[in-house]
A and B are shown apart, each in its own frame.
Chain A
Amino acid sequence: MPLSAHIKEHPAYFHRFDALWTPSVAILDSNGDEQFRIEGYLPKDEFRAQLELALARLSFTSKQWAEAERRYASVLDRFPDSKAAPEALYWKGVSHYKATNDHTILGELPGIFRDKYPDSIWALKTLAWT
């Protein structure tokens, strides 16, 4: 459901949804709870990748683990060189674990990150699984 909130037309929306900077995009679930936010400008492909991450996040927070895994995999497939990709890889692994209870994938992630996204902060987050 796309909602436009321009500072001059609806300044109250900025207070209501805690928007402190523009451009910003907030993604709320169907209950109106915020699940994802993008603050600041991004080039088209990076923005698109972030929006796809947001959709995956919605699946994750609603505990639809298999769907979340599929959506994170889609981000990786479509935007493998984007800044969103390392985050998608991390959460894809977590979603798989949540869906299957098989922790094998978590142990594999540090190595995958070393090969693909060694400088990402998400790589550091997998070190707990080494």
Chain B
Amino acid sequence: MKVHWRKDADGALAEAKEQKKPVLIDFSAAPA
């Protein structure tokens, strides 16, 4: 299953609030 990763925090938080869903933030420093 492909995950649609959001890159915009404000957008993701707004989307989560609207859909009443949690947010998972992946903090990474790994090379691309």
Interface residues of A (CB under 8 A from B): 1-10, 13-14, 16-17, 19, 21-32, 35, 51, 54-55, 58
List 29 A-B pairs, Cβ < 8 Å: A1-B12, A2-B3, A2-B4, A2-B5, A3-B9, A3-B12, A3-B24, A3-B26, A4-B5, A4-B7, A4-B26, A5-B27, A6-B28, A6-B30, A10-B7, A16-B9, A17-B25, A23-B28, A23-B29, A25-B27, A26-B24, A28-B13, A28-B16, A29-B23, A30-B19, A31-B17, A32-B17, A35-B22, A54-B22
Interface of A is mostly: mixed
Cα A13 to Cα B25 with chains together (Å): 10
Q: A10-B7, A16-B9, A32-B13 are in contact. Are A5 and B20 (CB under 8 A)?
A: no
Q: Do A1 and B27 touch (CB < 8 A)? A: no
Q: Indicate if the CB atoms of B9 and A5 lie closer than 8 Å.
A: yes
Q: Judging by beta carbons under 8 Å apart, are B7 and A1 in contact?
A: no
